Amino acid sequence: MLYLAAREFGLLVLNWMAAQNGKAVTPALTSWDGQWFLGIAQGGYANVPQSLADAFGRRTAETPLAFFPGYPTLVRWVAALPGVQLVGAAFAVSLVSGVFCAYGLHRLGSRINGGSPRVGLVLVALFAASPMAIVLSMTYSEATFCAFAAWALVGVVERRWVLAGMCCAAAGLVRPTAAALVLAVGLAALVAVVRGRDGWRPWVGGLLAPLGLLGYLGWVAQRTGSLDGWFAVQQRGWDSRFDGGAATWKFGLEILGSVRSVLELGTVWLILGALVLLVIGFRRRVEWPLLVYAIGVLAMDLGSNGLMNSKARLLLPAFTLLVPAALGLAKRRTSTVVVALLALSVLSAWFGAYSITAWPYAI
């Protein structure tokens, strides 16, 4: 209920912001990458509408391969049900995925060191009130990925290795961010094997974990005739490549020195906040697989070139950074928790609505 309430409030603010900026809500929620996912869901990779192009306005037969198949496949399956339209199916998949993610986060918050059902509820509320949580209500793949990631990490914390491996493999078909999840699940399974824990199960979990990601990257390699086919498509179409964080560093200094927009300044402060939360996570001794996952997401986001406007959105899957905040906030009085979460929800709803109604570029 907390998750749904936060998302509904976000949509109400979006409706107001859209009216203020002369935008319609549905096109805003299906914009940018959302159009690509809808196109793939409708016609497959070979029949994406020709009107869609990469960041440079170009389009080749390989351009759609930049988008992973998991989310559009689920959308296509739901859209095949009687009376279900494609856009409605996409919203339904995002909604249901978000609910499953919320249950996973509650379970995670209850099982971690120092955790409890109250910590789990606060973790869910913090995630639902993340600055770019509006993406969870869009025709984007973040909600589906986060659902699989949350349950994979539940499997790690509870030492349910088959669950962890299966969810990690599924996440690998949804977003490239699964590389961070594969690292966390794989290392945790390896440690369990070395220590002789849980018999055959960590072996199976560790072997299952990378199958989805490697499977899709391998398929793209076969389609493009190049082992680095997916990475080449990303670089050609979106100038996205790993540069060790040089572009992010330059972007941050430029924005702090000469503010150009609310979204860009907010992105820089969110990046700094994420780094602070990571340090706090180490100090609070959050379970190391959760920190490994967070570090992996941060490294992939901050260490790559490409669209700087997307940095805030790409931080959303790093929800384990919120664990120390949830642990600390859950110890406060209920009135303090409620006020803090309400304030965060208002800021999140406004920032998300601004990013897809007032901000004119892709997120």
Q: What is the pLDDT of residues 222-236, one digit of tens each?
A: 999 999 999 999 999
Collect the ranges in the chain with pLDDT lower than 70. Answer: none
Angle at which helices 70-79 and 142-157 cross, to 10°:
110
DSSP 318-330: -GGGGHHHHHHHH
Query: With the C-alpha atoms ordered 153, 177, 229, 61, is the resulting torsion angle positive or negative?
Result: positive
What local confidence, expressed as pLDDT, does residue 175 receive? 98
pLDDT tens-digit readout, 130-186? 999 999 999 999 999 999 999 999 999 999 999 999 999 999 999 999 999 999 999
Distances (CA, A) of 236 to 55, 232, 241: 9, 6, 10
User: pLDDT, tens digit, for every residue of 304-335?
Assistant: 988 888 999 999 999 999 999 999 999 999 99
Q: Output the pLDDT for position 307.
A: 84
Q: What is the pLDDT of residue 233?
A: 96
242 forms beta bridges with 304
Q: Please give the pLDDT value at position 1.
A: 84
- Among 281, 268, 272, smallest CA distance to 322 is for 281
Residue showing tokens 């790093």: 318
Tell me which DSSP letter residue 303 carries: T
What pLDDT, on a 0 to 100 scale, did the predictor assign at position 33? Answer: 96
Structure tokens given for 90: 């996409």
Quick one: tokens of 268? 């820089």
Question: pTM of whole model > 0.95?
Answer: yes
Each domain of the chain, given as residue ranges in start order, spans 2-357
